[in-house]
Amino acid sequence: MLEREEYIEQAYFFRVLVERLGQSLPLQDLLEQTKFELLATTHLPMAIDLLLGELKHHGLMSTGMLLLKHYFAPFQTFLIAEAETDSGRFDYRTALKILSAEANYRAQESISPEGLFFYQFEALSRNRLNYDRGLKAMADDTFYPPDWQAWLLILRRQLGLVELSDMIYGRSQLYFEARSRLGITEPEAPILFGLGEGRIAQANRHKDPLFLFAAMQRQLGYPAVPRLEPIDPIPSLIPRLQRRIEQMETRIRLLEQEQRGGIDITKFYGGKIPLPSEELPE
C-alpha cells in the first residue's frame, strides 16, 4: 500500500482528467499539462511519464499501468483497460470518476477491507463489467489480507451459483455466533465481516443487490460509486427549436402571400418566370 500523499495526488490526477476531457484536448496533452501540477515529491509524475510514453507508442494507458504494478492497484489497471476496450460500453469518464473516488478513499484512515470490497464490487455490478477479470484484479490487490484474497477467489468461482448475500453472511460474525449457540465453537472459515454486515446480508437475501449495496454504503461510509450521467438534451434541443421556428415562419409568410392574392414565385427565378424552353438555373 502506498503512502497517503500518493493517493491524494492520484485522486487529484484522475479528477482533473475528468474535468478537462470535455475540452476536446488529446489525452497526451492532458497528461503533459497535469504532470506539472502534481506534487513533485511523489512518484506520480514519473509514473505519468511512463504512461505518456505508452500512450504515444501503443495508444493505451492501461499497458503502462500494467508495467507499474507496484504503484497502480490491479483494480485501477482493470478499469482503465475496460474503458479502452473497443467493443466495451464502459465510459472513460466514468472509469476516471471511480478511480478518483477510490484513491480518495484509500487516502482516508477509515478505509477498511469491507468498505473497499463493496465499493469495487458495486462498481463492477453497476457498470456491468466482467466479474471474472474484476474479481481477479481485486484478489491481486495487496491491500487485502491473505484471507480476503482467498475468499475473493472463491467468490470469483461461485458467483452466480451462490447468492452474494449468502456468501457474506457465511463469513460474518453473526453466522459464527449462530453456530456457537449450536455448540460449534470453531469457525469453519476465517471471519471477514462483522455483526452489522452479517445482519444487512441476512436482511437482503433474495433481494435486489442494489439494496444491499445501498445499506452497506450507509453503514460502512465508503464513497458512493459514480454513475454514468444521462446526456442533457437541452443544449441540442434549443438549436432544433430555433430551426423549427424558422421553418414555421417561412410557411406562415407563404400562407399570408397566398391569401393576399397568390405567391410571387418570380423571386425564386431572378425576377422573371422562365419559359418551358428555357433552362432552369441550377
| CA gap 166, 20 in Å, rounded | 42
Query: Do both 97 and 125 map to the same domain?
Result: no
State whether 92 and 118 are in the same domain: no
One domain for residues 10 and 84: yes
Place of cell 507499474: 68
Is 203 part of any domain?
yes
Range of the domain at 183: 111-229
Q: Are residues 82 and 38 in the same domain?
A: yes
For the chain, give me the number of helices (H) and strands (E)?
14, 0
The enclosing domain of 47 has a CATH number of 1.20.81
Q: Name 170's Cβ contacts closer than 8 Å, sequence gap at least 6.
A: 189
Residue 133's Cβ-side half-sphere holds a number of Cα atoms within 13 Å equal to 10
Asked whether residue 21 falls in the same domain as residue 3, the answer is: yes
Q: What is the DSSP letter of 21?
A: G
pLDDT computed for residue 265 by the predictor: 66
Cβ within 8 Å of residue 128, ≥6 positions away: 89
- Residue 256 included in any domain: no
Cα–Cα separations (whole angstroms), residue 237 to 116, 181, 250: 41, 65, 20
Q: What is the pLDDT of residues 222-250, one digit of tens each?
A: 999 987 766 667 777 888 888 889 989 98
Q: Is the pLDDT of residue 45 over 80?
A: yes
Note whether residue 239 is domain-resident.
Answer: no
Tell me, yes or no, whether 245 lies in a domain. no
160 assigned to some structural domain: yes
Query: How many domains does the structure of the chain reveal?
Result: 2
CA distance 19 to 10: 14
In a domain, 168, yes or no: yes
Q: What pTM value is reported for the model?
A: 0.80
Which of 229, 245, 265 lies at the terminal end of a domain, its last residue? 229
Residue 270 has what pLDDT? 64
**What does the block give as the cell for 212?**
444491499
**94 burial via Cβ count (<10 Å: 0-12, 13-18, 19+):** buried
pLDDT of 114-151, one tens digit each?
999 999 999 999 999 999 999 999 999 999 999 999 99
Residues 123 and 136 in one domain: yes
Query: CA triplet 72, 75, 76: central angle to 5 degrees?
Result: 50
pLDDT reading at 26 higher than 90: no
Residue reference for cell 487529484: 12
pLDDT above 90: percentage of residues in the chain: 62
Q: At what angle do helices 173-180 and 195-203 cross, to 10 degrees?
A: 90
Query: By CB neighbour count within 10 A (0-12 exposed, 13-18 middle, 19+ buried), where does 277 fall?
Result: exposed
Residues 154 and 56 in one domain: no
Strands (E), 2-86: none
Is 39 in a helix, a strand, or coil? coil
Count of CA atoms in the C-beta half-sphere (13 A) of 225: 21
Of 74-83, 105-114, 135-144, 263-272, least confident by mean pLDDT is: 263-272
Any idea which residue has 458495486 for its cell?
A: 122
Residue with cell 470535455: 22
The mean predicted confidence, pLDDT, of the chain is 88
Same domain, yes or no: 30 and 103: yes
Is residue 119 in a domain?
Answer: yes
* Per-residue model confidence (pLDDT) at position 130: 92
Question: Could you say which of 229, 247, 263 is where a domain stops?
Answer: 229
Can you say whether the dihedral through the CA atoms of 207, 212, 213, 214 is positive or negative? positive
Q: Are residues 204 and 123 in the same domain?
A: yes
E-strand ranges in 52-184 read none
* pLDDT band per the 50, 70, 90 thresholds, residue 264: low
